[in-house]
Amino acid sequence: MPTKRRILIIEDEKDLILGLTDAFTFEGFEVSSADTGEKGIELAEKINPDLVVLDLMLPGKNGFQVCQELRAKDQMAPILILSARSQENDIIRGLEAGADDYVTKPFSFGELLARVRTIFRRVDAAKQRVSSTVSVGDAQVDLDTHNALVRGEQVDLGFYATAILQLLDERRGEPVSRDEILDVVWGMDANPTNRTVDNFIMKLRRKLEEDPAQPRHILTVYGQGYKLV
Ligand code: CA
């Protein structure tokens, strides 16, 4: 029997914790939960989860702070944000704080499960890849650790942003459409929207471009998609 993947849920809605715990357990995961950010951070250090499902709106430390602290404590497990607010700003902020993906409430368990499975597929694929890097201007991105060295600073990009960059790099110089990015990076079952791709592109620009408002490497090709030059 392979060891079960361990999911840590940090969420303050009791019903949601119960529902998610049952559903993930039924799907064969080992589930732990915490109802505050503080407890979640403590628990993460104890159990070393394979994935964290994190609510943004928490009493005490909010999800953004929890995200940053987990990353600061070298917890590299993918973080999937649950956001009750569909405002782009919160999502972008969450992604910048170190989250890997997000689902907006209300969501179906099927949707969440598809996202979680996609993340684990990417984790497994990354383990099999020989180490390599992609350069974006003078920044170096490590495809295995998802870390970028940007003007002397280490920056965490997360799985999805790194996966998008890898795809753009494979086709460097030519535009890649949002549909194709969704298809290759998320797969058919996870169901994110074109807007999701735009959010991750924004994240990449903010982290890698010297002037994110005037990108010189991660470019929009109007009507066609994005390209890396
Ligand atoms: Ca909440």
Identify the band that residue 155 occupies on the pLDDT scale cut at 50, 70 and 90.
Answer: very high
Look at residue 131 in the predicted model and tell me its pLDDT. 65
Cα of 12 from ligand 1 centre, angstroms: 5
Identity of the highest mean pLDDT range in 17-26, 91-100, 125-134? 17-26
Cα of 198 from ligand 1 centre, angstroms: 26
Look at residue 85 in the predicted model and tell me its pLDDT. 67
- What are the structural domains of the chain? 6-126 (3.40.50.2300), 130-228 (1.10.10.10)
Cα of 128 from ligand 1 centre, angstroms: 36
Identify the band that residue 127 occupies on the pLDDT scale cut at 50, 70 and 90.
Answer: confident
Cα of 97 from ligand 1 centre, angstroms: 18
191 pLDDT higher than 80? no
Cα of 31 from ligand 1 centre, angstroms: 18
Identity of the highest mean pLDDT range in 42-56, 80-94, 191-205? 42-56
87 pLDDT higher than 90? no
Look at residue 122 in the predicted model and tell me its pLDDT. 82
DSSP per position, 110-152: HHHHHHHHHHHHHHHHHHHSPP-EEEETTEEEETTT-EEEETT
Q: Which residues sit with Cβ closer than 5 angstroms to ligand 1, an ion?
A: 12, 55, 57
Cα of 41 from ligand 1 centre, angstroms: 16
Is the pTM higher than 0.85? The answer reads: no
Look at residue 189 in the predicted model and tell me its pLDDT. 67
Cα of 150 from ligand 1 centre, angstroms: 34
Q: State mean pLDDT over 15-35.
A: 97
Confirm if 206 and 161 have CB atoms less than 8 A apart: no
Cα of 54 from ligand 1 centre, angstroms: 9
Cα of 187 from ligand 1 centre, angstroms: 29
Q: State mean pLDDT over 7-36.
A: 97
Q: Is the dihedral of CA 96, 98, 101, 103 positive or negative?
A: negative
Cα of 11 from ligand 1 centre, angstroms: 6
Look at residue 1 in the predicted model and tell me its pLDDT. 54
Cα of 7 from ligand 1 centre, angstroms: 18
Q: State mean pLDDT over 117-124.
A: 87
What mean pLDDT is reported for the chain? 91
